[in-house]
Amino acid sequence: MTQNDEIISIQNLNKWFGNFHVLRDINLSVRSGEKIVICGPSGSGKSTLIRCINRLEVHQEGDIVVNGVRLDGSLKNLEDVRSEVGMLFQQFNLFPHMTVLENCALAPMWVRHMPRHEAEALAHKFLERVRIPHQAAKYPGQLSGGQQQRVAIARALCMNPRIMLFDEPTSALDPEMIKEVLDVMVELAHDGMTMICVTHEMGFARQVADRVIFMDEGEIVEENAPEAFFSNPRSDRTKLFLSQVL
């Protein structure tokens, strides 16, 4: 593992919402191609942490370097950083006024300045990859939750991102649909995508994660390989949490 492999570096990150200290001295380094699962109780700051990585949240202290670019107030080309980082949301956040195909082709056309036919070909390719090639002409409101989340994955992949962030992508889904989304995510992991995933799907964590991070009260409490994390957690706090979710 060389220094050059590092694609995300977070050092002494602190963030406050008003007076509320939501992230406390976070240190995290992610290598290219690594898969990281973040878990922890509600309100522990998981979403805030990954939202800092594409600067949907602005931090006050510490350094975040993504893809070689330091995220701070002097940043001119925030859009360039964001276009390399795909993000999946709990609520999918598809654009309801556009068809599935338009959802996927939008950013390649307007950010990458790709001609429409090329962008749509790309969109078709990724819709096939998430196994919904036949829904391209539908509107998001006409799809099931699992299909919508897979469209959201395709939409993010169309930008050819180097990193994918997932914020509880399956927690708004019915059990029947969770698997279809997780299957796509597992495939993505096997293809070598760098992934940071907030999820409580422990089966998924076991299967693909290189590291599991447990957060509480805005801190990283424990960081471990998945086997060790689940079978032999170091801290009592982790043990308590695992006993509740497993």
Ligand X SMILES: Nc1ncnc2c1ncn2[C@@H]1O[C@H](COP(=O)(O)OP(=O)(O)OP(=O)(O)O)[C@@H](O)[C@H]1O
Residue numbers at the binding site for ligand X (CB under 6 A): 17, 20, 22, 40, 42-48
DSSP string, 84-108: TEEEE-TT----TTS-HHHHHHHHH
User: Binders of Mg ion: how many residues, by CB under 5 A?
Assistant: 1
Identify the burial level of 204 via C-beta atoms within 10 angstroms of its C-beta, where 0-12 means exposed, 13-18 middle and 19 or more buried. Answer: buried
Among 85, 105, 151, 220, binds another protein (CB under 8 A): 85
- The nearest distance, CB 147 to another protein, in angstroms, is 13
- The nearest distance, CB 17 to another protein, in angstroms, is 15
* Of 109 and 173, CB closest to ligand X: 173
- The nearest distance, CB 44 to Mg ion, in angstroms, is 9
Contact call for residue 144 and another protein (CB under 8 A):
no
Tell me the three-class secondary structure of 143-161, residue by residue: CCHHHHHHHHHHHHHCCCC
Tell me the three-class secondary structure of 44-55, residue by residue: CCHHHHHHHHCC
- The nearest distance, CB 194 to ligand X, in angstroms, is 20
Contact call for residue 93 and another protein (CB under 8 A):
yes
Contact 88, 70 (CB under 8 A): no
Q: Which stretch binds another protein (CB under 8 A): 22-30, 88-96, 126-134, 236-244?
A: 88-96
Contact 150, 188 (CB under 8 A): no
- The nearest distance, CB 167 to another protein, in angstroms, is 10
* Of 86 and 169, CB closest to another protein: 86
CA angle 42, 146, 84 (to 5 degrees): 75
Interface contacts to Mg ion, rule CB under 5 A: 47
